[in-house]
Chain A
């Protein structure tokens, strides 16, 4: 599957099916800090990802001097 990562934008290829939780673990990403998106739908940790999926892992953390 293709996994799009942000900040900075980049793409990685991951072989095989797995759960969202497992994918994030392999990528070293805390599940509480990202949205996982497939075909404009949000996924939860338990959702399964297929070999042909295109996934976006979108960080939600922002910082700075105010909003």
Chain B
């Protein structure tokens, strides 16, 4: 049997990393993954040894792999799980996240979207003007930031991987959304009510985070979100994967070269002035933050009190606040 050999130790390989023209055995692959995360953290000074990190965990491979890696590297990393109310999918997600935290005896903060804010994601997709994925992402960014501030964490870590970042950059570039491109970076520093946000997996592909999670014995949710069909991000990923299949390394070159060579060219346009949302106090560029506006629309409420001019519901579909101010994917 002609098995691939590990680049480091020549043992039989279990994971191939085509863009590096390499394959690794189990131990050497875990070493490779840790090295990529250590390099990412060091290069952008993402977290310090005393920082309290809040890891946004969904139950998927990326966020649980990230939590595992940060704990393994000795960081003070707790988890935050947001219950989205997507039937069996959310039930299973919550179960695997709780099991992960229990096995490692580490803290998990849970927030239930319906219990805390009065709506779940399936309802939001039907009643609001935003797509299901858009309101889901908006809710996550809002809750993650609020939880980090409420519980005194220094930094929020998310499991965005190389495929996520390359697909997002492709989408933003196709539309030349320069203000979004300017803020697509592996670290967003803390500012006026926003906790620092970091993406330590940005050097690792989706295949690599999945292989790492599998090899580490992490029970993660393999099933795709039932509401994600037709998601634009998936179409961009598909396009990138087609390029990658004939030209390994395309994704990495596209995103990592953007960071090295193109990002500085976009990094001058951020003149957004942040103020406190009149409803919830979270930072926003408008009178009310995007989350409060979306929530009001979903619940059929009007924003603003007796002393304020009410916001017209028809205006709520306008995205005054750039999504990327929160630093996650659109």
Q: Bin chain A's interface residue count.
A: 20 to 34
A65 interfacial contact with B, CB 8 Å: yes
Q: Is the CB of A61 within 8 A of B163?
A: yes
Q: Which of B16, B158, B209 contacts A66, CB < 8 Å? A: B158
CB of A4 to closest CB in B, whole Å: 11
Q: Which of B14, B58, B159, B330 contacts A41, CB < 8 Å? A: B14
Q: Is the CB of A65 within 8 A of B140?
A: yes
Q: Which of B61, B214, B215, B330 contacts A62, CB < 8 Å? A: B61
Of B181-189, B217-225, B280-288, the one contacting chain A is: B217-225
Mask: chain B, 289-330; 1 = CB below 8 Å from A; 0 = not: 000000000000000000000000000000000000000111
Q: Is the CB of A61 within 8 A of B211?
A: no
Within the assembled complex, what's the spacing in Å between the Cα atoms of A60 and B3? 23
Q: Is the CB of A66 within 8 A of B137?
A: yes
Known A32-B18, A42-B14, A42-B211; contact A61-B237, beta-carbon cutoff 8 A: yes
Residue of chain A at shortest CB distance from B237: A61
Of B41-49, B100-108, B111-119, B227-235, the one contacting chain A is: B227-235
CB of B246 to closest CB in A, whole Å: 10
Q: Which of A33, A48, A66, A67 contacts B207, CB < 8 Å? A: A33
Q: Is the CB of A44 within 8 A of B234?
A: no
Q: Is the CB of A64 within 8 A of B231?
A: yes
Q: Is the CB of A35 within 8 A of B234?
A: no
Q: Is the CB of B210 within 8 A of A60?
A: yes
Known A7-B223, A32-B241, A41-B14; contact A61-B140, beta-carbon cutoff 8 A: no
B120 interfacial contact with A, CB 8 Å: no
A45 interfacial contact with B, CB 8 Å: yes
Mask: chain A, 48-66; 1 = CB below 8 Å from B; 0 = not: 1000000000111111111
Q: Is the CB of B211 within 8 A of A67?
A: no
Instruction: Enumerate chain A residues within 8 angstroms of B2, measured Cβ to Cβ.
Output: 46
Size of the chain B interface, CB-CB below 8 angstroms:
53
Mask: chain B, 175-215; 1 = CB below 8 Å from A; 0 = not: 00000000000000000000000000000011101110011
CB of B175 to closest CB in A, whole Å: 17
CB of B132 to closest CB in A, whole Å: 8
Within the assembled complex, what's the spacing in Å between the Cα atoms of A59 and B222? 8
Instruction: Enumerate chain A residues within 8 angstroms of B205, measured Cβ to Cβ.
Output: 32
Instruction: Enumerate chain B residues within 8 angstroms of A41, measured Cβ to Cβ.
Output: 14
Within the assembled complex, what's the spacing in Å between the Cα atoms of A33 and B209? 12
Mask: chain B, 148-191; 1 = CB below 8 Å from A; 0 = not: 00000000001110011000000000000000000000000000
User: B-side interface residues toward A, CB under 8 Å?
Assistant: 1-4, 13-16, 18, 23, 56, 58, 60-63, 133-138, 140-141, 158-160, 163-164, 205-207, 209-211, 214-215, 222-225, 228, 231, 233-234, 237, 241-242, 244-245, 328-330
6 residue pairs, one from A and one from B, having the closest CB atoms: A65-B137, A60-B210, A63-B234, A65-B136, A67-B159, A66-B328
What 6 additional pairs, Cβ within 8 angstroms, besides A30-B241, A60-B206? A35-B211, A42-B15, A44-B14, A47-B3, A62-B224, A65-B133
